[in-house]
Structure 1
Amino acid sequence: MPLKTPDTNSSTHVVHRRELLKLTGAGVAAFGAASMFNTPNAKAQTMSNEWDKVFPRSQKVNHEKVTFENRYGITLSADLYQPKNTSVKQAAIVVSGPFGAVKEQSSGLYAQTMAERGFVTLAFDPSYTGESGGEPRNVASPDINTEDFSAAVDFIGLRPEVDRERIGVIGICGWGGMALNAAASDKRIKAVVASTMYDMTRVMSKGYNDSVTPQQRAETLEQLSRQRWQDAEKGTPAYGPVSLELKGGEAQFIVEYADYYKTPRGFHPRAINSNGSWSLTTPLSFMNMPILTYIAEISPNPVLIIHGEKAHSRYFGETAFAAAAEPKELVIIPGATHTDLYDQVDVIPFDKLTSFFNQHLAA
């Protein structure tokens, strides 16, 4: 059944919706566009065993499709990568992101590469997205998506080949903020990396570079609240237009998003940013729940924040780094943009990631 979209005949609705999109990410690029996939209840979709990633399969690691449940009973789908020919318990890394992506894209690339370097890794689809369960589709939550990281730790820590005292996480883009939030409360996470991170609660509540005024915020909350009436009346959430359909004149970072999500470089049919949109009311739960409030409490476990020198999102990483407690590191990649750290293997500092986790997940 195709998803319903909100009535756009009303000029008042159009004006408010433009303000909503401006506030919650300067258009839909930060979190995508209308899902064409439905998953019943909280169960995961049937997963194909065929290789359906946007990156080549490595012959150096074993790959397995797996599922597990989070604390809310939602079944999450994931890809497990393991080094070949190992006989001792290994350190493990859980990976997710970017916001609106699927495990067949950037997170899977990170996971497979780190498995080549000796770690058992898990790349998962967050609740309500990709092959993971949860309805309605294409909804995000700072609480549930933080829990998704901890549920992944539950799963990988019970694997017989994993040393449960040596587990780290990597969050990419919007899931960088989620990873930091998870590490602040889940002390089983012994080391955390946020790569090209977004603080989604900050950008949704304050806009890019904190440019939204209190009046604009109030107007957006009013519109979001009224959108709930429309969703309740129709019995289904409203969604925006398919994301990243460029018409010319977009900001450079929007063009960079489209170059990843809408081209063979990174397109995947299950990714919201490639082929769908978040529900219009998704920002509600983000707008007054700042997820990095307790970032200093990650300490004494270490934090590594990686950003591109030319990334429009760099200020998120620098602010998070300033708020974090020691031990912490900030790595700025010269010349790199936000999306370079999605998939450019000659730009992503995998050597640094490896040394960081080798040091802090040592036996």
Structure 2
Amino acid sequence: MTVLTFRHSFALTGLALGIALFGASTQAAAQPATLDQRAPAMTLTQEWDKTFPRSDRVDHRKVTFTNRYGLTLAADLYVPKNRTGERLPALAVGGPFGAVKEQSSGLYAQTMAERGFVTLAFDPSYTGESGGQPRNVASPDINTEDFSAAVDFLGLQATVDRERIGIIGICGWGGMALNAAAVDKRVKAVVVSTMYDMSRVMSKGYNDSVTLEQRTRTLEQLSKQRWEDAENGAPAYGPVMNELKGGEAQFLVDYHNYYRTPRGFHPRAVNSNASWTVTNPVSFMNMPLLTYIKEVSPRPILFVHGENAHSRYFSETAHAAASGPKELMIIPGANHVDLYDRVDVIPFKRITEFFSTNLK
């Protein structure tokens, strides 16, 4: 596969669009989501309800584990069939931001299990089948911890060599994965695909275009929303995600075409069927995820991004900031969402080579 290394530039709107994209716009009136946002009972769906076909080359089962904050996470564990008795390398897989394990992360996990890895695709805290109240809220700290809790779980499995564990972060969980690897030295290698730095886009807008005045105004609106939530005894939710009214930027149309069509729709996904809390951006506004990216070194990082992705600059700047072994792989002609589920576009061969080499 050809790898392109040139840069590109583009102009998008600022912080208002960045926050609106993740369902927390303070520009529009807050509204309840159309579905019940209460936490589901921890009764896991046992039938196959993924957005991708089930493989007959792996064994699959639902599992749960608890993170450091006492939140119970639901996950899908994939183990290669026809394996010998030896312990295998393992991968924890998370993302995209607002997705569930039945979507892109599960596809990555099952595909890598077909290639010889024990894999775990998990629902982040407060979303999907995982626990936590209120529903549909994210945190740079807690969601980073979710990755480490997944590593905890994998390291206790009889099929896993705990000295050979890597992680894959997709979209917004790319930033979480890098943050987790910087602090958790058990992680031996990292792949981030179509990466977003959620703290950067929420605090600075696309292409870091937000002024101090705009940032201050947004923080004032978010702060006032906290009073309303406190008075109501529950958080307000933004508009239902990824609905189109016409005239949206192409990347928003791409999100719709994945999350809101049979291609990728899943009823438990925030991005398909619900919304984030209006105050969801608060903790991301002043807690930069990639502050310690250099401390991932000497463990290697593979950045994978689409040539035509609006988000490409996140991988480019993170790659430039990282030290130690690193590779930036640009996929010709691909947009951001192509790397969610296009198996003919996602470079699984290179990802397999990367982990096979670095999880020894």
TM norm. shorter chain > 0.5:
yes
Of 58, 62, 80, the match for 2:59: 62
Aligned-residue Cα RMSD (Å) equals 1.7
Distance 2:78 2:22 in 1: 35
Distance 2:199 2:120 in 1: 25
| Post-superposition offset of 1:24 | 1.7
User: Which residue of structure 1 aligns with residue 265 of structure 2?
Assistant: 267
Distance 2:137 2:211 in 1: 26
Distance 1:303 1:203 in 2: 21
Report whether the alignment pairs 1:257 with 2:255: yes
User: Which residue of structure 2 aligns with residue 349 of structure 1?
Assistant: 347
Distance 2:285 2:44 in 1: 34
User: Which residue of structure 2 aligns with residue 337 of structure 1?
Assistant: 335
Task: Tell me whether 307-316 or 80-89 shows the greater mean CA deviation.
Answer: 80-89
Give yes or no for contact 2:16–2:205 (8 Å, CA) kept in 1.
no
User: Which residue of structure 2 aligns with residue 14 of structure 1?
Assistant: none
User: Which residue of structure 1 aligns with residue 246 of structure 2?
Assistant: 248
Give yes or no for contact 2:15–2:205 (8 Å, CA) kept in 1.
no
User: Which residue of structure 2 aligns with residue 46 of structure 1?
Assistant: 43
User: Which residue of structure 1 aligns with residue 226 of structure 2?
Assistant: 228
Distance 2:161 2:337 in 1: 32
Give yes or no for contact 1:25–1:207 (8 Å, CA) kept in 2.
no
Give yes or no for contact 1:153–1:167 (8 Å, CA) kept in 2.
yes
Of 75, 80, 88, the match for 2:77: 80
Of 280, 304, 307, the match for 2:278: 280
- Which whole-Å deviations, capped at 9, do the CAs of 1:283-340 have from their partners, x for residues lacking one? 0000000010100100010011000000000000001000000200100000000000
Question: What SS does structure 2 have at the residue aligned with 1:243?
Answer: coil
- Which whole-Å deviations, capped at 9, do the CAs of 1:57-79 have from their partners, x for residues lacking one? 00000001000000000000000
Show the 5 A alignment for 1:150-229. 150-229=148-227
Report whether the alignment pairs 1:139 with 2:137: yes
In the alignment, structure 2 segments of 5+ residues that lack a partner are 1-12, 26-31
| Post-superposition offset of 1:20 | 6.9
| Post-superposition offset of 1:27 | 6.6
- Which whole-Å deviations, capped at 9, do the CAs of 1:233-261 have from their partners, x for residues lacking one? 00000001111110110000000000000
Distance 2:81 2:73 in 1: 25
| Post-superposition offset of 1:39 | 1.5
- Which whole-Å deviations, capped at 9, do the CAs of 1:250-286 have from their partners, x for residues lacking one? 0000000000000000000000000011001010000
| Post-superposition offset of 1:23 | 4.5
Give me the TM-score of the superposition, normalised by structure 1: 0.91
Distance 2:168 2:110 in 1: 13
Question: What SS does structure 2 have at the residue aligned with 1:232?
Answer: helix
User: Which residue of structure 1 aligns with residue 301 of structure 2?
Assistant: 303
In the alignment, structure 1 segments of 5+ residues that lack a partner are 1-17
Question: What SS does structure 2 have at the residue aligned with 1:82?
Answer: strand
- Provide the aligned length of Structure 1 versus Structure 2: 340
Distance 2:297 2:81 in 1: 33
Give yes or no for contact 2:15–2:203 (8 Å, CA) kept in 1.
no
- Which one-letter code corresponds to 1:57 in the other structure? R
Question: What SS does structure 2 have at the residue aligned with 1:95?
Answer: strand
Question: What SS does structure 2 have at the residue aligned with 1:282?
Answer: coil
| Post-superposition offset of 1:85 | 2.0
Distance 1:21 1:148 in 2: 28
Give yes or no for contact 1:98–1:174 (8 Å, CA) kept in 2.
yes
Moved over 6 A (4+): none
Give me the TM-score of the superposition, normalised by structure 2: 0.92
User: Which residue of structure 1 aligns with residue 36 of structure 2?
Assistant: 36
- Which one-letter code corresponds to 2:81 in the other structure? K
User: Which residue of structure 2 aligns with residue 102 of structure 1?
Assistant: 100
Give yes or no for contact 1:196–1:313 (8 Å, CA) kept in 2.
yes
User: Which residue of structure 2 aligns with residue 24 of structure 1?
Assistant: 19
Give yes or no for contact 2:15–2:204 (8 Å, CA) kept in 1.
no
Distance 1:20 1:229 in 2: 22
> What percent identity do the matched residue pairs reach?
72
Distance 1:141 1:129 in 2: 12
